[in-house]
Structure 1
């Protein structure tokens, strides 16, 4: 299917300004370029009822968190919570890169969102991001009352690399390693770092995320090839996905990760996990943080939030 017109405008703009592909930059320069793109690609962050920056203990020192409480929620009410892991290939991205997305999710879901600023590669390679995600989830579960969270309604989620980490947390919870989230929200997730699917042959140039860029991310995060088949890096490689939390999986047609995302949704279904799979054939990877130029981003965020509301037993209006 042809690319969405808004997404095509993004590609045209990238060509017009001559932004180099991320994989041609150092990881420090890639982070700066990604941060600079927010002003162009993202709409103004919506107001929320409350936001505050927190820290929690981590295996290598304090981990920064950001807590959002959605508009229209009562300050003293114990709300459902989404623990959100940002995308960026485990190399770029931070609390600010996904601030607008987290605010929108909190508002439309009528919930608390807690974003996690996990350690990035190459300074902290696999499994550092997993370890920080584990520490954050344990903290949120343990401190739920203080954070205004209903401990029985905690979900994990994220986009791209963050979707990878959320899927790993759901598997760890199934095995009793971490507190069990009731839901997993996986937005164009990376699920197989082997990088051998047919989609890797289709999206080799012209997109913000290409095969070469994805391999650059993987090389930074998991430089040892053998570790890429560890299910904590590639959850699709887990022996079984059965008994994990119910899931929402969103995939995009113009994305080198599309095949592994579809395969993950299919395996969840085949192995008895309740899954909602939304496939956007005309969209590209990363569009959720490009809402200034891609109107479908806001609609998709609302759809994801609506699925959370249904799971949490809320009234369905956001």
Structure 2
């Protein structure tokens, strides 16, 4: 299927990569300028900014309560942004939609970013907040059942790494992992996956841009051979939580996500891979206003409900 026509319209307006150095501060400012004011966001019962005290330090989190209830499942969300972009605000709309559709209380993590924070600071923040959420079960009105982790792109890579960290630590509280077009292999050899060539140009995220966009993370000490950096390199995937891996047809990262889902299933993990036709990398964050793609939130809810 060709790229969705509404996405194609936006892609046609994007400037081509010119090879100039990336400026994290300027790019973050550009993202922040696109965030809608609070009054224009999806209304929920409550949205609250708090600080989570974790072994890695004080981590800002935003808690989304969809409706008033006696208890909730919890979903801890890690935003995307190639490890150096994204924030609680830029992905606020994703967290709100997750809360509304799933009925879970969503805890969005404002983890530390590269290059200012060296690896593994951001990852430790994410894992620390998951453990914090479990410890704060009473105050969060956790139902003691669902404790899901979800993330998009680099945040999806963090989901896989956090699930592995929890298993290795003997923490069995994570019940579900949800990975939206995850970044799981930071070895960018273009021959590793067919999608790196098939979707190399013209779909927003381009194969040539993977190295420069991830350079801030890698240069901060993240080793692509480390399974916590490239979770697909983890040899033993058995015993990990049930997984929903969402991929996009026109995404250079499509095949690594689908291979990860396949490897999880081969290891005995209950894993579902769901490819969205006509979609590109980032569609959950950028194009979920399109009905065909907004259903990803309903699919997430169904995944949580059936397990």
Deviation, structure 1 residue 177: 5.1
Partner of 1:32: 29
Residue 136 (structure 1) aligned to one of 110, 121, 129? 129
Matches within 5 A, 1:52-91: 52-59=48-55, 61-71=57-67, 73-74=68-69, 77-91=70-84
**Cα pair distance change 1:54/1:296, threshold 3 Å:** same
Partner of 1:207: 203
**Cα pair distance change 1:24/1:207, threshold 3 Å:** farther
Residue 120 (structure 2) aligned to one of 115, 127, 136? 127
Could you tell me which runs of 5 or more consecutive residues in structure 1 were left unpaired when the two chains were aligned. Answer: 312-318
Matches within 5 A, 1:135-174: 135-174=128-167
Residue 248 (structure 1) aligned to one of 244, 247, 269? 244
**Cα pair distance change 1:172/1:60, threshold 3 Å:** closer
- 1:172-228 per-residue CA deviation (whole Å, 9 max, x = no partner) reads 222225453000011101111112233223333333311232212321111278811
State TM-score, norm by structure 1: 0.88
Instruction: Check whether the contact 1:10–1:293 (CA below 8 A) recurs between aligned residues.
Output: no
Q: Distance in 2 between matches of 1:19 and 1:257?
A: 19
State TM-score, norm by structure 2: 0.91
Q: Distance in 1 between matches of 2:60 and 2:171?
A: 19
Partner of 1:271: 267
Q: Select between 100-109 and 167-176 the one with higher mean Cα deviation.
A: 167-176
Higher relative CO (CA 8 A, sep ≥ 6), structure 1 or 2?
1
Q: Distance in 1 between matches of 2:110 and 2:20?
A: 22
Deviation, structure 1 residue 79: 0.7
**SS class of match (2:200):** coil
Could you tell me which runs of 5 or more consecutive residues in structure 2 were left unpaired when the two chains were aligned. Answer: none
**SS class of match (2:127):** helix
Instruction: Check whether the contact 1:68–1:112 (CA below 8 A) recurs between aligned residues.
Output: yes
Deviation, structure 1 residue 38: 4.4
How many residue pairs are counted as aligned between the two chains?
302
Q: Distance in 1 between matches of 2:19 and 2:205?
A: 9
